[in-house]
Amino acid sequence: MYRLIDGKEVSNYIKGKVRDEIISLGEKGIKATLAVIIVGNDPASRVYVNNKKRACEATGIVSREYALPEETAEAELLSLIAELNNDKEVNGILCQLPLPSHIDEKKVIDAICPEKDVDVFSEVNVGKMWVGDYDVASCTPKGVIELLEYYDIPLEGKNCVIIGRSNIVGKPMASLLLEKNATVTVCHSRTTDLSFFTRNADIIVAAVGRKRFVTADMVKEGAVVVDVGINRDENGKLCGDVDFENVKEKCSYITPVPGGCGPMTIAVLMKNTLAVTKKQNNV
């Protein structure tokens, strides 16, 4: 019998802990401020930004939104980031992706001061994760770790298979699992006989961006399956990278979509904003 991993419950727990610390900082005269930049009118980006604003409100973090038009020049965006880097009242900065095609995303990410990079996308902070010397970790992968630890799912010595090698999920996920002493295999579109690896996995993290890609025959009995994917099915309904209905009966634990990893990304963003605020104020 499988057990459902409830991302909403865990994210509310984390945000509650963040709120308590934000209140304590406030008593010392310290406030945490997150600057969120959005360029253009992408509907999905607008939903994400609104969700982040609500999370800030729930935790007591001050949210500053900078909504720029689609035609904003790259130089103008970089100038804004430089201004926010130098603003001592701003603790964390994120620029909602994707950006319009005329703007170089890498240049924008690298322009954000590493000490204020709460998304943990910069090369400096990604490098710190890989050597295990970091204050903040990539939001979605760290959210996965928080989920597994909340449910007391052991990681040490476990055979963990990540499907997907993106810079946002797959690669940082590997570094965090290695830090927990798991044995990690990263699979991707060029992997030969993917099922060979997944059928031997104690824990599968699916982050490939293809709806219902992981099927029941790819999963061993009793495995833990974490679905990071967000897709739309043929009816326009949200679904993940895992064929949930058929896979769940083989699992010991499984995350749903929606309601699994999604809420955790924003919860960890709040946790990261708190962490950089404390670091900047020597708390």
Instruction: Give the residue numbers annotated as catalytic, written as ranges.
Output: 52, 96, 119
Q: Which two tokens stand for residue 17?
A: 């802990």
Q: Which two tokens stand for residue 267?
A: 């919860």
DSSP summary character for residue 115: G
Element (H, E) at 109: helix 105-111
Pseudo-torsion of CA 186, 141, 124, 267, nearest 10°? Answer: 170
The residue whose two tokens read 């240049």 is 107
Give the distance between the most distant pair of CA atoms in the chain: 57
CB 206 within 8 Å of CB 216? no
Nearest to 127 by CA among 85, 187, 82, 167: 167
Please state, in angstroms and rounded to a whole number, the distance separating the CA atoms of residues 95 and 103: 12
Give the pairing of strands 159-163 and 183-187.
Answer: parallel
Contacts of 158 (CB under 8 A, 6+ apart): 182, 183, 202, 203
Element (H, E) at 204: strand 203-206
Give the 3-state secondary structure percentages of the chain, helix then strand then coil, rounded to 5. Answer: 45, 20, 40
Nearest to 206 by CA among 216, 217, 214: 214
